[in-house]
Amino acid sequence: MKYIYMDHAATTPTDQDVLKAMLPFFSEKYGNPSSLYSIGQESRTAIEEARGKVAKFIGAKHDEIVFTSGGTESNNFALMGVAWANQKKGDHIITSSIEHHAIINPCKFLEKRGFKVTYLPVDKYGIIDPDDVKKAVTDKTILISIMHANNEIGTIEPIAEIGKIAKEKEIIFHTDAVQTVGHIPVNVDKLNVDLLSLSAHKFYGPKGVGALYIRKGTKIVPYLYGGDQEKRRRASTENVPGIVGLKRAIELAEQNMEEESKRLTNLRNKLIEKVLTGIDETILNGHPTQRLPNNTNFSFKYIEGESLILSLDMEGIACSTGSACTSSMLEPSHVLLAIGLPHEIAHGSLRFTLGRSNNEEQIDYVVEKLKKVVNKFRSMSPLYKKK
Amino acid sequence: MSVYSEKVMDHFRNPRNVGEIENPDGVGKVGNPVCGDIMELYIKVKDEKIVDAKFKTFGCGAAIATSSMLTEMVKGKTIEEALKITNKAVAEALDGLPPIKMHCSVLAEEALKSAIKDYYKKKEKVK
Ligand code: FES
């Protein structure tokens, strides 16, 4: 059976080219980049080249990039690092109610340590109102952290505008750009951000590597202590193969992004149209246009998401309900609740995120199977008949 | 997906006894406040024996599988025997459920109890 993967927001397959670039750094070029002999320096050079590439790609300077183990670490580093470093100045953080758990949970941790966190609401499309940010600012605010685009519903936030507010008020501004880097243009100056998180495996790079952009002059303390790596901003021997892979993934994104995002936008629009016209009582979650090129998120009334996922899997289709990290939880997605969906509708939501492997034919196949399983579960649903 | 046993997947794939019974002798409608899932169970009773059972469920894979298994288990049992069926027994009959999904089987037990209660209520009225 053919397998159709439509969960690219969860992760992407590592590109063959990326893998090829990484391989020598596992066995032949294994030197520790902190070692002074030549095999070590070879690794060092590879890292610094990658740093330059990442920096250039997002419009940053070479030494403003710190390599991390991925999006979660970058987010934790940004939040904790800024919170601890600026404690004397204030104890207030502003974020949104639809952030990834890699932001929400460190915020909750900081709340337990005496910080105050404002979780801004969103409108029905998942958009944060910059005015709300402005109103939330107090003279104790030290950090604003708002995601560039939402991982579940794909809504792209007005980051540049929020950044302007942060700049005026001299507050450090972080954005979690894990879903956008490699997919849509990301430039730290245009976005007015001081910190930015990115992760390689979301754009055909390997898992376990990412980066945090830290604008020069941003007051932050390390998150990991140990050796002197990364200019003492992040101890631990660098993940050289991963970093090399990240670099190669960025090179490929540079080449393909524009074309691919156009192609995916078309596919996405086709999927949205076919689902909304072909299956009744269906809602598109997220913004109709201000959304990631590859993201769709639907709610199918009267049925529950897990049954749909299992059935689609049996048809050879991989997609997700809400975010992959929440699939072991019973509560519906906090993002869907935040955009105002009632519990039972939030429960029946599916996310299809498209990528390189998807094409028109697959869209047709997915819609056909989706119709079948939606009908099956609606016919079993005690809620449906009450219509 | 391997989170569920083969039996669970079998009942999920081909749920037995889906639907409603016309003029049922007992109906149980229950919901789970945590996950928001809902189950409806219909029973037909003759001489204190459950001769037919059908269900409708809005819920996860485990909820559908336990509903299906439950209807299979109660058919042919006397009311008294049926009352002894616990959620654990249903889960065991399915070769187990992941711990986080045990509560889904509670839904099945509760639906059964409530259907039997309804049956008794209806019988009272007939008398
Ligand atoms: S998660 Fe609610 S019944 Fe299974």
pLDDT digits (tens, 9 = 90+) for B50-59: 999 999 999 8
How near does any CA of chain A get to the CA of B59, in Å?
Answer: 5
How near does any CA of chain B get to the CA of A18, in Å?
Answer: 29
pLDDT for the residue numbered A327: 53
Nearest chain A Cα to B38, which residue? A382
How near does any CA of chain A get to the CA of B127, in Å?
Answer: 30
The string of pLDDT tens digits covering residues A344-384 is: 888 889 999 999 999 999 999 999 999 999 999 999 999 88
The string of pLDDT tens digits covering residues A133-160 is: 999 999 999 999 999 999 999 999 999 9
Residues with Cβ within 8 Å of residue A313, at least 6 apart in sequence: B1
Which chain A residues are Cβ-neighbours of B64 within 8 angstroms? 307, 380
Cβ pair A236, A264 in contact under 8 A: no
Average pLDDT score over residue span A279-305: 95
Query: What span, in angstroms and rounded, lies between the C-alpha atoms of A62 and A55?
Result: 5
User: Higher pLDDT residue, A265 or A385?
Assistant: A265
- From A31-45, A171-185, A247-261, A318-332, the region with the lowest mean pLDDT: A318-332
Q: In percent, how much of chain A has pLDDT > 90?
A: 91
Cβ pair A234, A214 in contact under 8 A: no
Tell me the H-state helices in A204-342: 240-278, 305-314, 334-338
Closest listed residue to residue B27, CA positions, set B39, B15, B16 = B39
Supply B44's token pair.
């037909």
Question: Could you count the other beta carbons within 10 Å of the beta carbon of residue A250?
Answer: 26
Task: Please state the separation of Cα B109 from the chain's center in Å.
Answer: 6
Out of A303, A310, A328, the one facing B58 most closely (by C-beta) is: A303
ipTM of the complex: 0.90
Strand intervals (E) in chain A:
4-5, 65-68, 92-96, 116-120, 141-145, 172-176, 195-199, 210-214, 282-284, 295-300, 317-318, 349-353
Q: B87 CA to middle of ligand 1, Å? A: 13
Q: B103 CA to middle of ligand 1, Å? A: 7
B36: left (phi over 0), alpha (psi -120 to 50) or beta: left
Which chain A residues are Cβ-neighbours of B1 within 8 angstroms? 310, 313
Q: A179 CA to middle of ligand 1, Å? A: 30
The residue annotated as part of the active site, out of A325, A337, A369, A381, is A325
Please give the positions of B annotated as active site. Answer: 35, 104
The string of pLDDT tens digits covering residues B9-50 is: 999 999 999 999 999 999 999 987 767 789 999 999 999 999
How near does any CA of chain B get to the CA of A331, in Å?
Answer: 6
Residues with Cβ within 8 Å of residue A328, at least 6 apart in sequence: B100
pTM of this prediction? 0.93
Q: Do A379 and B18 touch (CB under 8 A)?
A: yes
Angle among Cα A86, A89, A94 to the nearest 5 degrees reads: 70
Q: Do A382 and B39 touch (CB under 8 A)?
A: yes
pLDDT for the residue numbered B3: 83
Minimum CA distance residue for ligand 1 atom 3: B104
Average pLDDT score over residue span A201-214: 98
pLDDT for the residue numbered B32: 78
Which chain B residues are Cβ-neighbours of A320 within 8 angstroms? none
pLDDT-derived band at A81, boundaries 50, 70, 90: very high
Task: Please state the separation of Cα A285 from the chain's center in Å.
Answer: 17
Pocket of ligand 1 (CB under 6 A): A 330; B 32, 35, 37, 59-60, 62-63, 101, 104, 107
Query: What span, in angstroms and rounded, lies between the C-alpha atoms of B108 and A360?
Result: 42
- From A73-87, A322-336, A372-386, the region with the lowest mean pLDDT: A322-336
Q: Which atom of ligand 1 is nearest to the CA of B34?
A: 2
Out of A306, A379, A382, the one facing B61 most closely (by C-beta) is: A306
Query: What span, in angstroms and rounded, lies between the C-alpha atoms of A63 and A215?
Result: 9
Q: In percent, how much of chain B has pLDDT > 70?
A: 97
Is residue B103 over pLDDT 90?
A: no
Please give the C-alpha separations between residue B8 and each of A178, A261, A372, B5, B98, in angstroms, as whole numbers: 36, 40, 21, 5, 11
The string of pLDDT tens digits covering residues A31-43 is: 999 999 999 999 9
pLDDT for the residue numbered A323: 47
Query: What span, in angstroms and rounded, lies between the C-alpha atoms of A101 and A98?
Result: 9
Is residue A325 over pLDDT 60?
A: no
Which chain B residues are Cβ-neighbours of A314 within 8 angstroms? 13
